Amino acid sequence: MHSKKKVFLGLENIAGIFTSLKKGFEQNGIKADFYSLNEHIFGYKTDKIINYSENSFLRKLQKFFLILKLLFKYDYFIYDSSGSLFPGFKDVKIFRKFGKKTMVIFTGCDIRLPEKVKQFKWNPCRDCTDDYKNFVGCVLNTKPDKINNIENNFDILVSAEEAAGSLSRKYYPTLFPVDISNFNYIGSNPGKKLKILHAPSNEEYKGTRYILKTIQQLKKEFEFDFRVVSDVKAEDLYREIENSDLVIDQMLVGFYGLLSIESMAMGKPVVCYIREDIMANSPADMPVFNADPDSLYDVLKKILQNPGLLKKAGESSRAYIEKYHDAKLIASNYYSLLEGAGNA
C-alpha cells in the first residue's frame, strides 16, 4: 500500500502507541507525523514538539498558523482523547469542515467510568489514588461530558475493549500496536532459578500489592528470583525483560497492556488478569496465563512446578503478537477506516 495522503498523529503518546503507529504507517508507504506538547517520560520518540509562547496573544497566533499548516499538510487526523490543539476540540471541527477525516483513540482511564467496571470484583478503579487520577487526567465529574463531546466531534471512535462500556455510539475495538522490528525473539529458557519480573507503571493501578503478597507466600515453598522495576526508560525496561523468564503485568485492569505486548514480542510469557467477558471475545490463541488476585497463587505455583511450560508459551506469545499487534497491520486497518469514513 502506498498513498500520497498524509496522517497527523497527536498529542499524547499513551503507551507509545503513536511511535508505533507512525512506524506502521511508514511500513505501509504512508507518511505520518507525530506531534506532542512534551517529551515522553519513558523516552518514546516524538517527531515534532509543539512549543507555545507564554504570551497569550502570541500563543493564539501560533495556534492559528499551526492549524493552517496542518490543514494544508494532512488529510487524516488521529488523536488520543487527552485533548486537542484548541479547547473543546475546535480544531477537529475545523478539520472536518474542510473535509478532513478524524479518528480518536481511547486507551483506558480516559474513558473508563467507575460505575461501569465496579460490577467486577477486580477492577482498575478499586484501588486508584487521587495522584494517579491526576496523572492520567481522570476527572470523574467532567469525564461523561468530555466523552460525549468527543463522540460528537470525531468521525471514528477506537477504544480499548475493556473500557468501551462508557461509549454510546459505534466504536471499533483496538489492540495496541507494536513495532515488531524493535524486538528480537529471545524466548524463555528457565534455568535452575526461575526469574520473574513485575514492572508497574503505577502500583495501585496494576495491583502490585496483591502480587507481592502472593510472591511472599510462594517464596516459602519455592526458590526463584523476583524483581520489581519501575520509573525506567524503555530501553532499560527491555533489558530487564530480556533477562526474565516470566513477566507479571497487572491484576486489576482486565486486559493486558504494553508491558505484556512488549514482553510477548520478545517471546516472554506473561501472567495477567483478563476479565471474563473480554476473554470470551478474545482470540482463542491468546497465550496469556490468566490470573486475578484470587487465583494468582495457584497459577504461579503451577508454573514454578512446571517451568517447562514457559518455553512453548514464549513461542506462542511471539506468534500471537505478530498476528494481532503488528503496527503495520493496525495502521493499515486504521487507514482503511479513515478511507471509508465518508461512506459510513
159 and 100 in a single domain? The answer is yes
- Shared domain for 76 and 116, answered yes or no, is yes
3-state secondary structure 4-27: CCEEEEECCCHHHHHHHHHHHHHH
The verdict on 194 and 172 lying in the same domain is no
Query: Residue 296 is part of which domain span?
Result: 181-324
- Rounded CA separation 57/55 (Å): 6
Same domain for 11 and 136: yes
Q: How confident is the model at residue 129 (pLDDT cuts 50, 70, 90)?
A: confident
101 & 228 share domain: no
Are 253 and 169 found together in one domain? no
pLDDT at 150: 92
Pairing of strands 172-174, 156-160: parallel
Residue 68 counted as domain residue = yes
State whether 100 and 207 are in the same domain.
no
Residues 98 and 166 reside in one and the same domain: yes
- Same domain as 295, residue 222: yes
Whether residue 158 sits in one domain with residue 39: yes
pLDDT digits (tens, 9 = 90+) for 184-228: 999 998 888 999 999 998 899 899 999 999 999 999 999 999 999
What CATH number has the domain bearing residue 172?
3.40.50.2000
Q: How far apart are CA 35 and CA 46, in angstroms?
A: 7
At 44 the pLDDT is: 67
Q: What is the pLDDT at residue 344?
A: 45
* Cα R_g (the chain), whole angstroms: 21
Task: Return the half-sphere exposure (C-beta side, CA atoms, 13 A cut-off) of residue 148.
Answer: 5
Per-residue pLDDT at 306 exceeds 50:
yes
Is 146 contained in some domain?
Answer: yes
Query: Is residue 235 located within the same domain as residue 247?
Result: yes
Domain count, the chain: 2
Residue 136 pLDDT more than 70?
A: no
Residue 1 is assigned to a structural domain of this protein: no
Residues 118 and 127 sit within 8 Å (Cβ to Cβ): no
